[in-house]
Amino acid sequence: MDDGELLRRIQAGDEGAYDAVFRAWYATLVRVAGAVLRDTDAAEEVAQDVMVQLWQRRHVVDVDTPLKAYLLRAVRNRALNHLRHLKVRREAEPEVELTYTAPLTADMPSGAQELSAAAGLAVSQLPPRCREIFELSRVDGLKYAEIAEALDISQKTVEAQMGKALRILRERLAEWLEN
């Protein structure tokens, strides 16, 4: 069966065709991701994500695109995004640690101590999904499109959740923001 036929069957919801693609390509995708990431666990996760994405996005996959090209490009892009995310996370770790774990010292102005404590508390009290998106944006430094892809949600959902988070934080930190 050619790639186009397999993709047409997958688009129609044929789990057998999807299973055949998964079995045929999973090991190769893990090897490709592993070559980029040099981490077997992360490579397996990336390959699994690509295969899940194939099923979830089956209705928009172009059946004229060679399956091999689609899968290899998707796994390479996802692996590179993973590396970028790790880099941003490593660079942000010292700042995040200071923000969330630095003790409030006596030499800090008392207003800064209070604001720091209030901000940490306000962020921790955001709804879970809202907090996750806020931290991916403001702590990890991801763009809305990257967050949407990482969480498999629309960019509009990310924008709405960020708007909600900022609105809640403005309300809870109003007394510090007005001065």
Higher pLDDT, 112 or 118: 118
Q: How far is CA 26 from the centre of its chain?
A: 21
User: Helices (H), strands (E): how many in the chain?
Assistant: 9, 0
Q: Is 109 helix (H, G, I), strand (E, B) or coil?
A: coil
Q: Domain 1-88 has what CATH class?
A: mainly alpha
**139: nearest Cα among 113, 172, 82, 100:** 100
**Report field, pTM of the whole predicted structure over 0.75:** no
End-to-end CA distance of the chain: 69
Q: Can 1-88 and 103-179 be said to share one CATH topology?
A: no
Cα gap 82→78, rounded to integer Å = 6
Q: Where are the domains of the chain?
A: 1-88, 103-179
In terms of DSSP H, where are the helices of 102-154? 110-124, 128-138, 144-151
Query: Which among 65, 50, 64, 55 is positioned nearest to 11, based on CA atoms?
Result: 55
Mean pLDDT computed over every residue of the chain: 83
Q: What is the mean pLDDT of residues 56-77?
A: 90
Which regions of the chain does DSSP assign to beta strands (E)? none
Range of lowest pLDDT (43-52, 63-72, 92-101, 137-146): 92-101
CA distance 144 to 55: 23
Cα 19 from chain centre: 25
Q: pLDDT (tens digit, 9 = 90+) per residue, 119-130?
A: 888 888 889 889
Q: What integer pLDDT is reported at residue 149 of this predicted model? A: 85
Q: What is the DSSP letter of 126?
A: S
CATH number of 103-179: 1.10.10.10
Output the CA–CA distances (angstroms, integers) from residue 160 to 33, 129, 130, 140, 165, in the order listed. Answer: 32, 11, 9, 18, 9
